[in-house]
């Protein structure tokens, strides 16, 4: 992506946010679009893939505070086709006219401005304009664009998803994830040239990486389109990436799932996202986890390291007490139920929850009375006898008394 793209492309519109959007708003918009447009969610949809790349490119700039600042300054500087105030006559909008322009804008080159900036300690008139324009063409020293140089660009962050079993979320696991995202081309290894071929000096810019072009009353230097600012052109483009050095592909990645992860949690894999350009670092890969529910166990809302379990019990067991054998994720444990236990009571089994770095959680066992759907004759007679024998016991006595 050349600096000219910063002038011609509206990255805010690409992400559907305003130019005053906060960093969290930009990140939220990107993640939403990335999920909707990801090639895994739209197999074979070329338009969705193109939009996915455009959105990733936009976030690569707006998601970086320094790049966003330069992008905003660049677009503000060139809004309306030129410098603030325009270029009519004597270089309006620049205090005292343009350096080297003789009081007018005719024959003015940005190189003169950069030279003036170097002589003035890195500034060109008010507001450090030389530094800003130097940054526009990949140069921060204020002394003009350096031939064949491009500012290193960090690769775009990539979103993916992974569904894991409940047991793996609790215990932790190492899994293989197939991710479809931009990556360094396997055929040319990022060179952009067909294997066995090389490159030659760009005939348009003579290897400098920049060309001059006229813009009305002045001329400006910009990255060469023929060689994309690199100063060289491949002799025979790679058949896989068509000379870009980057291709969208499915690649297997090993993901380590730490013990105790929760549904919806994201894992960051540093440097596993989109490849950087011009020596820049790769972006990151964010894997969103979807945990499959367990048929018996759950996670406590108060402490995710605690596991929950509901155990059905009989009425006699609650009344008289009992010792129950209950399951854990690894084996079984014995749980003593005291006499007179109410249905819905929860017991804590220490150390039988999630074995996480912060410490082991507990197993929370809730006992619930199980009511038989049908009784045979003997059971019905026994139940009636019990009812007759406990007529003096009114479980709702306090409830009814409280209503008066």
- pLDDT score at 223: 77
- Angstrom distances, CA of residue 376 to CA of 313, 373, 380, 382: 19, 10, 6, 10
CA–CA–CA angle 109, 113, 115 (5° rounding): 110
Residue 73, C-beta contacts closer than 8 angstroms, at least 6 positions apart: 132, 135
pLDDT at residue 404 is higher than 90: no
How would residue 117 be classed by pLDDT, with cut points 50, 70 and 90? very low
pLDDT at residue 358 is higher than 90: no
pLDDT at residue 113 is higher than 50: no
- Angstrom distances, CA of residue 326 to CA of 318, 331, 336, 363, 370: 15, 9, 10, 10, 16
**119: part of which helix (H) or strand (E)?**
helix 110-119
- pLDDT score at 266: 92
Mapped onto helix, strand or coil, the DSSP state of residue 275 is: coil
Q: Which CATH number fits domain 3-81: 2.60.34.10, 1.10.3720.10, 1.20.1250.20, 1.10.287.110?
A: 1.10.287.110
CA–CA dist 243, 388 (Å, integer): 91
DSSP conformation letters of 115-163: HHHHHTTS--TTTTHHHHHHHHTT--SSS-PPTT----BPPPPEEEEEE
- DSSP-derived letter for residue 261 is -
CA–CA dist 305, 302 (Å, integer): 9
CATH placement of domain 158-198+235-291? 2.60.260.20
- pLDDT score at 253: 86
pTM over 0.85: no
- pLDDT score at 64: 87
297-374: CATH topology: HSP40/DNAj peptide-binding domain (2.60.260)
How would residue 140 be classed by pLDDT, with cut points 50, 70 and 90? very low
- pLDDT score at 41: 77
As a whole number, mean pLDDT of residues 84-101 equals 39
- pLDDT score at 344: 96
Q: What is the pLDDT of residues 72-90, one digit of tens each?
A: 887 777 654 444 434 333 3
CA 354 to chain centre: 27
* Between 55 and 137, residue with greater pLDDT: 55
- pLDDT score at 215: 62
How would residue 4 be classed by pLDDT, with cut points 50, 70 and 90? low
As a whole number, mean pLDDT of residues 304-315 equals 95
CB 187 within 8 A of CB 77: no
Query: CATH topology of 158-198+235-291 equal to that of 297-374?
Result: yes
Phi and psi of 132, rounded to 5°? -65, -45
Burial bucket for residue 177 (CB in 10 Å: 0-12, 13-18, 19+): middle
Q: What is the pLDDT of residues 322-350, one digit of tens each?
A: 999 999 998 999 999 999 999 999 999 99
DSSP conformation letters of 61-86: HHTSHHHHHHHHHHHHHHGGGSSTT-
Domain regions of the chain by residue span? 3-81, 158-198+235-291, 297-374
């Amino acid at each position: 992506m050349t600096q000219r793209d910063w002038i011609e492309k509206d990255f805010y519109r690409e992400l559907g946010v305003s130019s005053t959007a906060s960093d969290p708003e930009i990140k939220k918009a990107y993640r939403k679009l990335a999920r909707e447009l990801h090639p895994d969610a739209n197999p074979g949809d070329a338009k969705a893939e193109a939009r996915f790349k455009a959105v990733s490119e936009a976030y690569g700039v707006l998601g970086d505070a320094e790049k966003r600042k330069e992008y905003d300054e660049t677009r503000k500087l060139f809004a309306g086709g030129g410098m603030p105030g325009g270029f009519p006559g004597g270089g309006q909008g620049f205090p005292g006219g343009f350096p080297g322009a003789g009081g007018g804008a005719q024959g003015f080159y940005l190189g003169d401005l950069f030279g003036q900036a170097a002589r003035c300690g890195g500034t060109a008139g008010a507001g450090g304009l030389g530094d800003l324009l130097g940054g526009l063409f990949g140069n921060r020293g204020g002394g003009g664009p350096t031939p064949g140089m491009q500012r290193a660009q960090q690769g775009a962050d990539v979103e993916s998803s992974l569904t894991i079993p409940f047991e793996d979320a609790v215990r932790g696991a190492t899994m293989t994830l197939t991710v479809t995202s931009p990556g360094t081309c396997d055929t040319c290894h990022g060179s952009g040239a067909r294997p066995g071929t090389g490159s030659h000096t760009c005939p348009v810019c003579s290897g400098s990486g920049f060309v001059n072009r006229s813009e009305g009353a002045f001329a400006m230097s910009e990255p060469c389109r023929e060689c994309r600012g690199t100063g060289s052109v491949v002799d025979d483009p790679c058949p896989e990436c068509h000379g870009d050095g980057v291709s969208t592909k499915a690649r297997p990645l090993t993901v380590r799932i730490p013990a105790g992860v929760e549904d919806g949690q994201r894992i960051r894999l540093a440097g596993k996202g989109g490849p950087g350009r011009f020596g820049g670092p790769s972006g990151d890969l964010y894997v969103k986890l979807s945990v499959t529910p367990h048929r018996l166990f759950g996670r406590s809302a108060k402490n995710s390291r605690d596991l929950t379990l509901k155990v059905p019990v009989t009425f006699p067991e609650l009344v008289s007490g009992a010792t129950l054998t209950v399951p854990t994720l690894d084996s079984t444990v014995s749980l003593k139920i005291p006499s007179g236990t109410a249905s819905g009571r929860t017991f804590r089994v220490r150390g039988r929850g999630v074995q996480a770095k912060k410490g082991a959680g507990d197993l929370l066992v809730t006992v619930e009375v199980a009511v038989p759907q049908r009784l045979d004759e003997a059971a019905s007679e026994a139940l009636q006898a019990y009812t007759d024998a406990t007529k003096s016991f009114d479980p709702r006595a306090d409830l009814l008394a409280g209503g008066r």
